[in-house]
């Protein structure tokens, strides 16, 4: 059972949790010192209550080489706790460091974005020689949910991470690996995101708190059901065009959703139509088609870039798709269909 810590009462629960550890291996991004929780941890260190050993040497798409560097530092540190403060990249890096080290020390995740859901999943995304891998590293033992960490998010990152969380909710709902439990999480996540996103985009405390909870629920959903074609198709878009992960995922899901609707009747997946209706209901819509349209409208209103691809890029994109993720998608896709979808997503030039 994962322990969820509240930031209330000046991080009282966090202090109680950290009291059992003296040395902490901190995996953090450059924004750590600007965060309220970052200042609090530095204050605890100044009081001699904890000792921090920091590792910040990872990129937005962490590589195995970076993980290995972090692992060597961790093994030499003698720390009894790993704490990850940051977005999905920081939390995934921390997961991989613990996994690579073969260590059983606990992992505390402190997410500073509302999108990846990495704090709620067993898996970590890491790149080996430029190729994405999903590694089962185990679930963090504890999570601090501090909505104030979202206060300083740049506008683009705010939009992209929200879209990532919403894609997680949708894809986990229609995934062929979905269960009754995962769909309960998916539905709760989508409802929470839809209720919170207006305030979240305006950076209100209530909107930030709701979005952080929604992203966490979506993470719990994908931990069970995993993602599908939207994520399978988005990783190379991120790599080629430098888009944020959630931005790329949303471009894919926005096109795949109508595609699923158009082919639902021919699908061998029993109950797919009912699933699509349930997703639309969670979106606050009266029909399956309206659900897809609302998703597209949200994406359009964010006014995000849609890159154009060349014929050469199109071939590379098509070849990059992970078949395992496609197997979770409720509609079978041929290579030619994937290529056509990419052309429609990226407006080939």
Q: How many CB atoms lie within 10 A of CB 287?
A: 13
The pLDDT confidence band at residue 129, using thresholds 50, 70 and 90, is confident
Q: Do both 92 and 166 map to the same domain?
A: no
Q: How many domains does the chain have?
A: 2
Where on the phi/psi map is residue 266: left (φ > 0), alpha (ψ -120 to 50), or beta?
alpha
Q: Do both 141 and 164 map to the same domain?
A: no
Domain residues for the domain of 42 are 3-150
Cβ-based neighbours of 72, under 8 Å, separated by 6 or more: none
Please write the tens of the pLDDT for every residue from 78-116.
999 999 999 999 999 999 999 999 989 999 999 999 999
Q: Do both 50 and 198 map to the same domain?
A: no
Q: Do both 98 and 202 map to the same domain?
A: no
pLDDT above 90: residue 258: yes
Please write the tens of the pLDDT for every residue from 323-332.
877 899 999 9
pLDDT above 50: residue 67: yes
Q: Do both 42 and 61 map to the same domain?
A: yes
pLDDT above 90: residue 278: yes
Q: Do both 91 and 36 map to the same domain?
A: yes
Residue 35: which CATH number? Answer: 3.40.50.1970
Please write the tens of the pLDDT for every residue from 168-222.
999 999 999 999 999 999 999 999 999 999 999 999 999 999 999 999 999 999 9
Mean pLDDT rounded to a whole number for the chain? 94
Please write the tens of the pLDDT for every residue from 279-328.
999 999 999 999 999 999 999 999 999 999 998 999 999 998 988 778 99
Q: Do both 164 and 295 map to the same domain?
A: yes
Q: How much is the pLDDT for 132? A: 83
pLDDT above 70: residue 33: yes
pLDDT above 70: residue 163: yes
Q: What is the pTM of this model?
A: 0.94
Half-sphere exposure of 280 (CA within 13 A, CB side): 18
Q: Which of 120, 150, 180 is the last residue of a domain?
A: 150
Distances (CA, A) of 144 to 6, 13, 76, 178: 6, 9, 26, 27
Distances (CA, A) of 1 to 9, 29, 143: 24, 27, 11
Q: How much is the pLDDT for 349? A: 38
Q: Which of 132, 150, 168 is the last residue of a domain?
A: 150
Q: Do both 332 and 187 map to the same domain?
A: yes
Q: Do both 168 and 67 map to the same domain?
A: no
């Amino acid at each position: 059972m994962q322990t969820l810590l509240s930031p209330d009462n000046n991080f009282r629960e966090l202090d109680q949790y950290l009291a059992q550890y003296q040395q902490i291996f901190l995996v953090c991004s450059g924004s750590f010192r600007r965060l309220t929780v970052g200042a609090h941890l530095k204050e605890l260190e100044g009081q001699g209550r904890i000792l921090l050993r920091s590792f910040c040497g990872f990129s937005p798409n962490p590589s195995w080489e970076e993980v290995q560097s972090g692992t060597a530092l961790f093994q030499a540190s003698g720390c009894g706790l790993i704490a990850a403060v940051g977005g999905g990249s920081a939390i995934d890096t921390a997961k991989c460091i613990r996994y690579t080290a073969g260590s059983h020390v606990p992992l505390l995740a402190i997410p500073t974005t509302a999108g990846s859901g990495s704090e709620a999943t067993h898996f970590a995304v890491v790149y080996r020689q430029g190729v994405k891998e999903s590694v089962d590293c185990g679930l963090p033992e504890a999570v601090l949910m501090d909505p104030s960490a979202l206060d300083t998010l740049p506008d683009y990152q705010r939009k992209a991470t929200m879209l990532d969380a919403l894609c997680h909710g949708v894809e986990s709902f229609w995934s062929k690996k979905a269960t009754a439990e995962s769909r309960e999480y998916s539905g709760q996540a989508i409802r929470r995101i839809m209720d919170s996103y207006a305030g979240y985009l305006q950076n209100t405390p209530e909107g930030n708190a709701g979005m952080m909870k929604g992203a966490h629920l979506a993470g719990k959903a994908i931990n069970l059901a995993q993602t599908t074609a939207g994520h399978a198709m988005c990783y190379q878009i991120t790599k080629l065009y430098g888009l944020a992960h959630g931005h790329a995922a949303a471009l894919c899901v926005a096109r795949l959703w109508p595609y699923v609707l158009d082919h639902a009747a021919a699908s061998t997946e029993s109950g797919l139509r009912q699933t699509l209706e349930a997703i639309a209901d969670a979106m606050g819509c009266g029909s399956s088609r309206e659900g897809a349209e609302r998703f597209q409208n949200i994406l359009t209103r964010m006014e995000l870039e849609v890159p154009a691809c060349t014929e050469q890029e199109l071939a590379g994109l098509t070849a990059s798709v992970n078949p395992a993720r496609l197997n979770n998608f409720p509609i079978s896709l041929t290579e030619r269909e994937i290529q056509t979808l990419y052309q429609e997503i990226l407006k080939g030039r």
